[in-house]
Amino acid sequence: MRIIAFILVLLFAGMTFANEDLRVADSCYAARAERANGDKADKKNTFLMIDKYKAAMADTSVLEAATEGYLKSLYFSIRFISFDKKMKMKKLDTLKIASESAYKKFPKNYDIAHIYATAISMWGNERGALASVKEGVATIVRDVATASENWQILGRAHFVLPYVPLILSWPDKKQADKYLNMALKKDPKDLYNYFFLAELRFDQKRYADALSLIDRGLARGVRTNFFLEDKRGRWHLKELQKKINAKLDKK
């Protein structure tokens, strides 16, 4: 009986520890913009966040939440921590494999699907066209985005991917317009919904509409819980604004 009781205590302690890992990881994620240098995040907090989410995944009772957090923290590190090219590719490989596995386990989780589609898109961009075609990157991005109703990623895919007869025949800029508008309507707080649609308007030479979208995005300010993300988004909006104004000044 003593042995059984001891084992139960160890099991309970392990579960408590795993949940404590999740609590610490969530705290780190909430504080991910603290001690940032410009738009670069604090490495110590970011790496602790990743380690704690990974440790929390050992507890099956919080597996989905811990997995989602782990993927978010990996993705955040790639965006907001400076890595050399070799290390960045290694991090992308890790994110691609982890997000693919997570999506198979939790296909209904919107955030996991979003990161998987984003990760494989980034991975394909870094690996080049040949590797992307071989891995079927474009089709995976389209199918995952469609299944999860992630209109931003689906619209972006239709916009940036080239139409190649017999190889890649589905990208369509008219569909990009449709889905990017749907994305903005679905989530008007996300500054990148304004940016991606403004990029499309710029490509269509609808400069006034593009500038209007940029103004609307910039007017939203910065969300405190997405401080670094929105700060980066505002920078992209302002850079596009400069590009459009420079083009108009030449006329």
Q: Looking at residue 86, what is its pLDDT?
A: 92
- In DSSP notation, 175-200 reads HHHHHHHHHHHH-TT-HHHHHHHHHH
The percentage of the chain sitting over the pLDDT mark of 90, rounded to a whole number, equals 78
Compute the distance between CA of residue 76 and CA of residue 63 in angstroms, rounded to an integer: 20
127-177 pLDDT, tens digit per residue, is 776 667 677 888 999 999 999 999 999 999 999 887 777 677 888 999 999
Residues 70/54, Cβ–Cβ less than 8 Å: yes
Q: Looking at residue 129, what is its pLDDT?
A: 62
2-30 pLDDT, tens digit per residue, is 555 545 544 555 544 548 999 999 999 99
49-88 pLDDT, tens digit per residue, is 999 999 999 999 999 999 999 999 999 999 999 999 999 9
Residues 160/125, Cβ–Cβ less than 8 Å: no
Partnered with residue 40 across adjacent β-strands are 37
The percentage of the chain sitting over the pLDDT mark of 70, rounded to a whole number, equals 90
Q: Looking at residue 152, what is its pLDDT?
A: 96
Residues 100/116, Cβ–Cβ less than 8 Å: yes
Residues 174/144, Cβ–Cβ less than 8 Å: no
* pLDDT category of residue 251 using cuts at 50, 70 and 90: low
Residues 180/173, Cβ–Cβ less than 8 Å: no
